[in-house]
Structure 1
Amino acid sequence: MFSLGKGREALPVKAPSCRLETARLVLRPAVIDDYPQWRKVRAENYDYLKPFEPAWPPKCLEEEFFQRRVARLNRDWIEDRTYAFLVLLKDETLIGGMNINNVARGAAQYGSLGYWLAENAQGHGYMTEAAAAVLQHAFTKLAFERINAATLPHNEKSKSMLKRLGFAEEGFAKSYVQIDGVRADHVLFGLTLEDYSMHALRMRTEDRG
């Protein structure tokens, strides 16, 4: 059991029991043993991911940072705040990550979808496949009634993926969040439970031919 240190709240490291599988992928919470390949993939993709992510904090690739991150995410999962998945190939090769963040319950019942994918894994439909599994879990197991998403205006891959998954483009937010150290405009998307159910039914019907 890993502790945040003397005088701080001890947090569980053991990952929540959740494993999503698709035809080509496995999605699960991170564990401490993931650190070597997590560091390798994130370091190799620094230049590629930097323009699309909030500024990386100091020492973010160090092992202690990763341990604290895993502990925090596990606590947030247990407390219904964030659901963070690693995206791996069937052989457990790490290729990305996907989160449901900013969970709001009560009258809201929504969360926000976030994701990243390594450069060498682009162009194979992995992110769409992973997102479809996470959305199914979110709506059918976690009882969300809406999932939000936001993307940079020039990120055409992300916008196309969200639309394929049934998200509707809902608006434009100036200076929405900090990306690479600068407040950045974002295009806003949303997917309701009703629209998700209709989209899923349509996809099943098309698959049957």
Structure 2
Amino acid sequence: MLKSKNIYIRPFTEDDAASLLKLQKENRRFFEKFSYERTNDFYTLEVQQNRIKEFAKDWQADQAYTFGIFTKDDALIGTINLFQVLRSSLQSAFIGYFLDQKHNGQGYTTEAAKLIVEYAFKELNLHRIEAGVMPHNIGSIRVLEKAGFHKEGIAIKNVKINGKWEDHQVLAIINPKDE
């Protein structure tokens, strides 16, 4: 468990499946604006249980690290992850996150991003973390900048979201020990 002033992040356990399902259902329209459109079966307890099992497998394989974002009173309010972990000469990963819409603008995602970046650099010894954000998602860009990321450019028609290829602002942070 990694803690900050207002939140903590930790890996999911099987006991979190119902909370993860609730988070996904309550934020379906909001989350799908920034990600792929999900089929109805995604919004079942069984699928969420299976996702948590996959999170653990990815962790063991050093491919991805998925955390829940929790308030101090243990309410699940979001997810944050490092994915596409590449080793060898790259030592890099991508960061992704979703926060319950009703908690936006309170600094929780920035706190979670800082925690996962610290984990990535100190525990995983990564060199670089990259993010891609739709340019109109100003809030998400601000989160990353407050967490120390810098803008690198625009990736044209980079990710297909809801049937449309979307441009993404590329941001990155380099491990300070490697600068």
TM-score by length of 2: 0.94
Confirm or deny that 1:146 pairs with 2:122. Answer: no
Shift in Å, 1:148: 0.4
Shift in Å, 1:24: 1.6
Gaps of 5+ in 2: none
RMSD over aligned Cα, in angstroms? 1.5
Partner of 2:60: 78
Partner of 1:172: 154
| Equivalent of 2:36 in 31, 38, 54 | 54
- 1:165 and 1:67 map into 2 onto residues whose CA distance is 31
Gaps of 5+ in 1: 1-18, 199-209
The 1:197–1:165 alpha-carbon spacing in structure 2 relative to 1, beyond 3 Å, is farther
The answer to which structure has the higher strand fraction is: 2
Confirm or deny that 1:112 pairs with 2:94. Answer: yes
1:29-40 equivalence runs, <5 A: 29-40=11-22
SS in 1 for 2:38: coil
Q: CA offsets per residue over residues 98-139 of structure 1, 9 Å max, x none? A: 000110000000000000111111111000011111111110
- 1:37 and 1:27 map into 2 onto residues whose CA distance is 14
Larger RCO of the pair (alpha carbons < 8 Å, separation 6+): 2
SS in 1 for 2:148: coil
SS in 1 for 2:125: coil
Percent of aligned positions with the same letter in both sequences? 32
SS in 2 for 1:60: helix
Structure of larger gyration radius: 1
Which shifted more, 57-66 or 77-86?
57-66
- 2:40 and 2:125 map into 1 onto residues whose CA distance is 36
Confirm or deny that 1:137 pairs with 2:119. Answer: yes
2:170 maps to amino acid: L
- 2:178 and 2:49 map into 1 onto residues whose CA distance is 37
- 1:168 and 1:24 map into 2 onto residues whose CA distance is 25
- 1:184 and 1:32 map into 2 onto residues whose CA distance is 34
Partner of 2:81: 99
TM-score by length of 1: 0.81
SS in 1 for 2:109: helix
Shift in Å, 1:197: 8.3
Partner of 1:24: 6
